[in-house]
Amino acid sequence: MRDKIREAARFLEQRITTSPRIGMITGTGLGEITSRMDVDVRIPYREIPNFPESTIEGHRGTLVFGNIGGHPVAAQEGRFHLYEGYTPREITFPVRVMALLGVEYLLISSAAGGLNPGFRAGDLMVVTDHINLTGQNPLTGPNLDDFGPRFPDMSGVYDPELISLAVSAGGPSLRKGVYAGLSGPSLETPAETRFLRIIGADAVGMSTVLEVIVGVHCGMRVMAIVVITNVNIPGRMAPVSLEDVLAAARESGPALSALWERILSDLPASAAVSC
């Protein structure tokens, strides 16, 4: 795995002119932020050695290098999921590659179902913590010691300073909450929804947590913002389709992209990365 990561990083180093400081992962229907970039190069995943390929509608499957607000950025247009059949290490492979390229900040967006009854479809929520219910962990197996420790601390996964920046940039309409990560692809039953709310989750999705764990392992400063595409209330749940999720994500895409731009303009000074 270490050799595969290094091979991909070497390939990308030959294609870019500036090392990225910021890594971004965009989720279902949420790739609009890359339209606001001054793009240097856009590389399909299939051309990058050892990279997985996205199979889900709404995920373009390209890695974009460019500039936003004076910051060099590497952005994934589309991610990978357990329900596609990928392993946790394959899903998080791009995060490791970004670390070798010099990324200090990992900024993640995704679509999520709302569990908090105070939320509404279209809300944006900055993640303050997560609950990993996928049953898997990308750090299982031999530890990649040159990336991070065997047992990384998880007491402050989502960077408090970055959360404060998001709250300042997003104003009173920005929600805050806990994200529960499931494996999917089936959506939650009413009983599962009730359980998730009881254990403290405000939103639920099928991504994010594995990439965040690896970001923490690498010493990156992490922030995630999710778009609430629907709200699940046990006892009066309505059917939800992928088309519904995509439509809600695309409708909220401009607001999310604008929020990311405001956050990026206020990012703190460079932070050291352990990888």
* Chain segment 172-208, per-residue pLDDT in tens: 999 999 999 999 999 999 999 999 999 999 999 999 9
CA–CA gap between residue 185 and residue 90 (Å, rounded): 17
Give the relative orientation of helices 209-217 and 93-101 as an angle to the nearest 10 degrees: 30
Residue keyed to tokens 């809600």: 248
**What length does the chain have?**
275
- Closest C-alpha to 123, from 249, 25, 244: 249
User: Worst-scoring range by mean pLDDT, 104-113, 135-144, 245-254?
Assistant: 245-254
The letter for the amino acid at 203 is A
Give CA separation, 182 vs 75, 132, 201, in Å. Answer: 24, 7, 12
Residue pLDDT, tens place only, 53-65:
877 655 578 999 9
- Give all domains of the chain, ordered by start, each with its CATH number: 2-265 (3.40.50.1580)
pLDDT of 251: 87
Residue 116 pLDDT greater than 60, yes or no = yes
